[in-house]
C-alpha cells in the first residue's frame, strides 16, 4: 500500500482531509499525531520509562499476591511494594482497596509491659495514600469509600501525656494511652 498525502485548496474537502487519485483518504493531522506518538513511545522505551513502569506494575502485583498469604484481604486489592504491615494477623482489608507505597499499617501487640488486642479494618473501595501511618492499640475501623492523601497519620493512641514526667520517658518504656475508638 502506498501512502500518498495530497494538499489541495479545493473547497469540497476540509484542509486536513484530501482524496488521492486512487480513492484513499489521507488525514495529515492523524498521521502526524500517530507519528509523534510513535516517537514518544520509542523515546520512553529507549530511556527505560515503559520498562520501569511495567516492572513496577509486576512488582506490585507480586507483592499483593504475597500479602494475601499473610492477611485477610478482599478481591481486586493492590498493596504496593514498600508497604509495611506489622502484626498482619489483626489487619483486615476489604474489596477494591489500594494501599500506596511507603504506608505503614501497625497493630500493636505489646509496648513495654502493656499488652493489646488491636484490630485494624479497612472497608471496601478505599484508597490509602502514599506514606500514610495507621497505628492502633485497640480498634480502628476505616469505612467504605475512604480516601486519604499522602503523609497522613491515623492513630488511636499516644505515648504518655503532656506532663513533665512523661516528657523524659522514652516512648518504648513509657505508658501508651488509648485516646479514642476510631470508626
CATH number at residue 88: 2.160.10
In a domain, 107, yes or no: yes
Backbone angles phi, psi at 101, to 5 degrees: -55, 140
pLDDT of 39 reads 77
Q: Flag whether the pTM goes above 0.75.
A: no
| 13: pLDDT strictly greater than 90 | no
Task: Output 41 or 67, whichever has higher pLDDT.
Answer: 67
pLDDT at 152 over 90: yes
* In-domain check, residue 121: yes
pLDDT score for 2 = 43
The reported pLDDT for the residue numbered 151 is 95
Residue in 172, 158, 118 with CA at minimum distance from that of residue 140: 118
139 located within any domain: yes
Predicted confidence at residue 132, as pLDDT, reads: 96
pLDDT on residue 70: 84
Is 102 inside a domain boundary?
A: yes
* The pLDDT value given to residue 162: 66
Domain count, the chain: 1
The verdict on residue 6 lying in a domain is no
Question: Is the model's pLDDT at 23 over the cut of 60?
Answer: no
Q: Which pLDDT belongs to residue 176? A: 62
Query: Domain for residue 13, yes or no?
Result: no
| Residue 77: inside a domain | yes
Determine the Cα–Cα distance for residues 122 and 147; give it in Å rounded to an integer: 11
Indicate the SS3 state at residue 123: coil
Whole-number percent of the chain with pLDDT over 90: 30
Q: Flag whether 78 is in a domain.
A: yes
Domain that holds residue 166: 71-178
Please name which of 141, 173, 175, 143 lies closest in space to residue 157, comparing C-alpha atoms: 175
Amino acid at each position: 500500500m502506498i501512502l500518498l498525502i495530497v494538499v489541495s485548496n479545493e473547497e469540497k474537502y476540509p484542509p486536513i482531509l484530501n482524496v488521492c487519485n486512487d480513492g484513499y483518504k489521507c488525514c495529515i493531522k492523524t498521521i502526524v499525531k500517530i507519528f509523534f506518538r510513535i516517537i514518544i513511545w520509542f523515546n520512553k522505551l529507549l530511556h527505560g520509562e515503559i520498562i520501569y513502569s511495567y516492572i513496577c506494575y509486576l512488582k506490585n502485583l507480586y507483592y499483593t499476591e504475597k500479602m494475601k498469604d499473610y492477611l485477610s484481604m478482599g478481591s481486586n486489592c493492590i498493596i504496593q511494594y514498600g508497604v509495611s504491615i506489622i502484626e498482619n494477623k489483626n489487619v483486615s482489608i476489604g474489596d477494591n482497596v489500594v494501599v500506596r507505597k511507603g504506608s505503614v499499617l501497625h497493630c500493636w501487640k505489646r509496648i513495654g509491659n502493656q499488652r493489646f488486642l488491636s484490630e485494624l479494618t479497612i472497608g471496601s473501595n478505599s484508597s490509602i495514600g502514599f506514606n500514610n501511618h495507621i497505628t492502633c492499640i485497640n480498634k480502628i475501623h476505616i469505612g467504605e469509600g475512604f480516601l486519604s492523601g499522602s503523609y497522613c497519620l491515623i492513630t488511636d493512641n499516644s505515648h504518655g501525656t503532656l506532663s513533665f514526667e512523661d516528657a523524659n520517658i522514652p516512648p518504648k518504656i513509657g505508658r501508651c494511652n488509648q485516646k479514642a475508638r476510631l470508626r
